[in-house]
Every structure is written in structure tokens, then in C-alpha cells.
Copies of this chain bind each other. A is one copy, B any other.
Amino acid sequence: MDEGLRPFFEPRGVMLVGASQHPEKLGYGLARNLLLSDYQGEIRYVNPKGGRLFEQPIYPRIADVPGPVDLAVLLVPAEAVPGALEECADAGIRAVIIASGGFSEVGAAGRALEVQCCDIARQRGLRLVGPNCIGILDTHLPLDTTFLPPPGPPPGSVAFISHSGAICAAVIDWARGQGFGLSRLVSLGNQIDVNESDVLLPVAEDRYTRVVTLYLEGVSDGRRFVEQASAAAQLKPVIALKVGRYESGRKAVASHTGALAGQEEAFNAAFRRAGVIRAETSEEMFDWARALAWSPLPAGRRVAVLTNAGGPGVTAADALEAQGLQLAELSSETRKALGELLPPAASLGNPVDMLASASPQQYADSLRALLADTEVDAVMVILPPPPMHTAAGVANAMIPIIQTASKPVVVALMGERMIQEAMERLRAAHVPEYRFPERAAAALAVLADRAENKGRGQPEFKLYEDVDQARVGEILSDTEASVEGFLPEDSVRMILEAYGLPVLPSVRASSAAQAAAAAAVLGGAVAMKIYSADIPHKSDSGGVSLNLGSGEEVAQEYEAMLARVGRAHPEARLDGVQLQPMIQAGQEVILGAVQDAQFGALVMFGSGGVEVEGLGDVAFALAPVSEAECDTLLETTWAGRKLAGFRNLPATDRVAVQEAIRRLGQLAADFSQLTEIEINPLRVFAAGKGAVALDARIRVNGEIYHK
């Protein structure tokens, strides 16, 4: 942990500046919470009015406060905060939580105060949390610097880091209501100094914390967030809820990649890179946090469903498949064991339907049998109010088995009032239970994902050493871009080639003789394409001829093509032809890169062509791109999946595509002034035969484009 942050998490003593004797004041509530939290260090109160509070003196000035105190919590009017910071610094305090509001959230004057606070902090070596925050709460240390009405959260193993202070009260209440405890809660407020990236590791390293949850409104520094979140996720599962996703209005962009790359794509790429689990709703975040905090991780994705009713069993099976889990194939031993436990009409397949008469004992024994099956990685138990028994009775019978199991068990406890007691018991026993099989299935899927991702280590970035960074620098300083920032075709080819990205050369000719000469320069067989701005679909108009060998053949075809296309498009203006070396057929994909304002270089891969934006069959990764991330780009797009072959499409050189993606990523990461790079299409040949960019554009400088 950054030593400067230690006093926030392990203070030797806490001073509340702005303590109040009046129960309706926040300065009273905060003092009360500090006291009730059972914090073991010294608690000191400061208020110019002096007096006593909770049988302790209130010191009139910060300078009067006796040590040891190394954390100050300020709850004074905003305009008094700068002075209080100076006094804290004079008193040797280095860590301050500014709980006061009235800063940038209320306008320009507040913003100016924040600047002043930052200056003082920089000059005097202070670290600040807030302003406009709820503070820090630790149920194990314990410590509570919030002013929220009691009761606080029960002690537990879920940590919560939040950009929103308002959500904290609801989260504490959810934690209490849903029976999970919190380990630490950190409310960051306006983040003039300490931000989410700073506290991720200190929170993940806390030994009582088993899961870290994040409520994010953005990130302060994208790359640093990725680095800190990756390190945190190596230690503990990290779940993030990112709000503020739908934004209206985009800046003008000049490429498909630019149009498709938005803040959301960048965040998703960053979360994937960091191994952060993204929740779509607050409900999901805490559903998953409970499962991750309480359950062992499964060894695989094979789930057994134990139910006393067919309908919910079907729902569960549906939900498991929808979540990418599988219904386990039960072993014959397990079926036999179940057959001995259950009535003849019971269904011994998976879902195991014990019928409505199932007793607590049958639930427990069947669960034990399923957990013993080596074909089963996890169990979902479905428990509607049983007609002949109580749900609590079933819960009691199962709890000891679940608590000692090395496989996760989640319970879909269906109902509301009749399952209240069962719910309380399961929660007290730290068994994840959900009202609906669908939510239980989602929680199991998160456990399976975490098991797969855990210990996968940081991604490895093998950078290509044969790239010529200096050459690209030269080209860029020698080249003049167009008004819109586009580089000339030659520069584009040279830049891409300097990074090992092959671009098909192309020569124009406007007479038969020129065409023959150009073909000789290119060497070998050539392809000829009509050159005309008026003809969108060249090949449909006879405007493409392939495999032309001799110069004579080229010259002859030049005349033939102009005549042929002229017939098909009498009105079109024909500006001669373009010649390229003859290349093999293959599949075509799009590769692109943009510079995201938050996270820097971002690479896009997917289906190209005119329809790229409409179909949106693309995926993004942060650049540079690891091999594993390359695999993900290919697996999550149809363009990538079909590179392996599909129906009559033969398999292609996936390796060459991955290399192209990684080389492009390296280029974009090395040169942030390349705001948009797009290769559309990259023609991909048969396995071992490589790939080549048929067309590419690069845009430089200008604005950094983002939605």
C-alpha cells in the first residue's frame, strides 16, 4: 500500500473537525458513528465552541488536539476547509477526509475552493479523500467516519468503493437486508486527490475482503485504472457497475472504427483487460458479490439441478444454458443412489425432480449424492414452499452439507413470506440464495467465470521487435496531411510496412501503354480494376480483370475493360485503371485503431465492407493487444469465427490475422498522434498464406475522437 494512504485505512487516531453537540447536525452523527464503530484508537473532537461530547472534551483548535492522531475528518463549511487543511498540516497530519459539501458540485466558487485545497495538499504533503463524500467505513478494524444514520453494515467480506455518496446508504441497507456484510466502504466524492485507482489495491489487499465491488461514474486515468484493477483482480474478484453509459452526441469521425468506438467499448475492453467483472445493474453486482464471497469456485461448468417441481426445473435448465453453463450428465452411481432415496415417479435425470412430497431428509441426501458425483461441478437447489414440509426445515437439513462442500451450491428459494425463515437461515449460514432460478444461474456463471479467469496472470504483451519506430517518426515529420488529417496513400503504406503490416501496392494507368509498363514494374501476373468515382460496384460492371500475365495481355485488356464498362455505365467518367499484383481469394475483415480519450489506443476487429457500421460485428481491445485478447477478438465476432472456415468458406490464416491485429495495436500504442487507422479490408488467405491490406487510411493529429 502507498504509505501516504495508510492513515485512511489504519489510522492511529482520528480527529473530527466540526464535531457538534446537536443531535440533528451531521457533526454529531459523525461523532456518534466514530464512537459506535468501536474504533480502538483515540477519537478527538474539534469545534471552536469547545465544550464536551460523549464525555470527551471538544478542542477549540486543531493545534490543541493531543496525539496520536494521523487522520482528520473535516465537516466544516466549505470555505473553512482550506484553513483547516493548513492547520492539519501544521499539526503533522497527512491524511484528511473532507466530508463537507459545497465544492465543485455547486458551481464555480466551489471549484475554485477545490483548486485551493489541491494546492495546499501539494505544498504541504497532504492526501485528501473527498470533498463531498461519505468517508470510509471498516467493519473489522473497526472504523466508521460516515454520518449515516445507524445501524451501519454488519461485518462481512464484501468491499464497496463508490463515486456516489448517496448510493452508500442504500448499499449498507441492502447489505443488512440481504444478509451479507461489508468489509470496507470507501466513498470518494469529488476525488480532488485520492481516486478509485488509488484505493483499489489497499482494499483488495485487506484480509477480510473477499470481493471488491465498484460503483463507477468514470475513471480518472484509464491506463492506471487498468493497471490497478488488474493487480486487484489477481487477488480478489472485482465487480464493477459503470453508470452513465448512454451519451447523446458524438464528435465527427472519419472511419468506421471511429464511429463504432465509444466510451462503452473502451470500458468493456478495459474491464476485460483487467479481469474486472462488469455488472449491468446494482442488483446483479450484489447478487454476484454474495456468491463470490461465500462460495467455493467450481472446477467446471457442469451443474446439477435439484428440485421438487418440474416447472421451475425447466426454468433453471433454460437459465443455465443461457448463461453458458451445462446440465451435468449424472453418473449411473448417482442415479442409482437417487433411485434409492426417492419415490419411483421421481425423475433421476438432470434436473432431478424429487416430486412435491420431497422431505428435508430427501433434499439433504439427494444433495449429498449430487455433490459426490465427479460429473458435477456445482448444484442449484430449487425450493418453492414445499406442500408437506417447511422451507426452513429443508434449509436446515442442507446447510451443514453446503457449508462443508468443496463445490458451490446456490439455492433458488421461490416465494416470499413462506420462505422468510429459510431465507434468514441460509443467509446466516452464508449460502447464496435467490428468489428466482434465473438469478441463481447468473451467480453460478460468475463463479465459473471467476474460476476460469483466476490465476490466469497478467496478460503477456509480446511486442514485435522488428518494427521500425524511428522510420514512422521520420515519415510523420516529412508528410503533410490533408485538411481533414488524412495521410497520403504512400505514407500510409510506408507506415504500415514499417510495422510489418503488408499493404498491396497499387499503380494507376490511364492508357494501354502505361498499363503495360506499370504491370512490368509490379512484376508477375496482375489484376486490373477500372478507376472511376462513378462506379461503386466495379466487379459487377466487368471492371475487374484478374491474372493478366504479359504486357501485351495487359494492354489489350485495358481497351477491352474500358469498352465493357463503358457499355454497362454509359454515363460514367472512366479515369483509366488501377493495377495491383495478382492475389489469391480469401476472406476479408476490417482492422482499425483509435485513440480513446480515457484509455488511449484501442484496436477494433470485425466484419468490414460497407455494412460494418450497420451490422456492428466488431470487437475492441486495448492496445497493445495480448495473444489472449486476440483470441477473444476472433471468438467474439462472426468475422473472426468464420476465419476458421464455415460451410463453403475455407479456413484461412488466423495466425496472420492475429499478427496483424497485434502489429496494428503496437503501432497505435506507439503513436498516439495517429488518431484513426483503418485497414478495410484485410484480405486473409488460406492457412500459412498470410494476409494483406487491400486498402488503408490513417488520420493524424486533430482532435482525439470519441463519442
Binding site for B on A (CB under 8 A): 102, 105-107, 147-149, 162-167, 169-170, 173-174, 176-178, 215, 217, 243-246, 280-283, 308-312, 314-315, 317-319, 321-322, 344-345, 356, 384-385, 387, 414-419, 435-436, 438-439, 536-537, 539-542, 544-549, 560, 564, 567-568, 585, 607, 610-611, 613-615, 617, 638, 641-642, 646-649
Contact = CB atoms under 8 A, between A and B. Distances in A.
B311 A217 contact: yes
A166 B388 CA distance: 12
Given A173-B415, A415-B173, A310 B164 contact: yes
A246 B539 contact: no
B246 A322 contact: yes
Contact of A314 (B165, B217, B549): B217
A148 B387 contact: yes
A493 to B, nearest CB: 23
A215 B436 CA distance: 14
Nearest to A566: B547
A643 B703 CA distance: 33
A288 to B, nearest CB: 14
B585 A537 contact: yes
Contacts of A215: 311
A174 B415 contact: yes
A564 B528 CA distance: 12
A641 B617 contact: no
Task: List the 7 closest A-B pairs by CB distance, nearest first.
Answer: A177-B416, A164-B311, A166-B309, A173-B415, A246-B321, A170-B414, A539-B539
B615 A318 contact: no
Copies of this subunit: 2
A400 to B, nearest CB: 25
Contacts of A611: 638, 642
A625 to B, nearest CB: 23
Contacts of A646: 614
A548 B565 CA distance: 11
Contacts of A167: 309, 311-312, 384, 414
Contacts of A607: 615
B280 A438 contact: yes
B541 A415 contact: no
B312 A385 contact: no
Given A309-B164, A314-B243, A417 B176 contact: yes
A416 B318 contact: no
Nearest to A415: B173
A539 B217 CA distance: 51
Nearest to A420: B177
A617 B610 CA distance: 16
B282 A438 contact: yes
Contact of A311 (B166, B537, B560): B166
B149 A387 contact: yes
Given A415-B177, A560-B560, A315 B610 contact: no
A240 to B, nearest CB: 13
A607 B614 CA distance: 11
Nearest to A177: B416
Contacts of A312: 164, 166-167, 170
A256 to B, nearest CB: 10
Contacts of A321: 246
A265 to B, nearest CB: 16
Contact of A281 (B106, B438, B585, B648): B438
Contacts of A311: 162-167, 215, 217, 243
A161 to B, nearest CB: 13
Contacts of A545: 542, 564
Contact of A385 (B162, B170, B436, B568): B170
Contact of A416 (B176, B344, B439, B585): B176
Given A166-B312, A177-B415, A560-B560, 10 more contacts: A169-B415, A170-B312, A174-B414, A177-B416, A178-B416, A243-B314, A283-B438, A536-B585, A545-B564, A611-B642
A177 B435 CA distance: 12
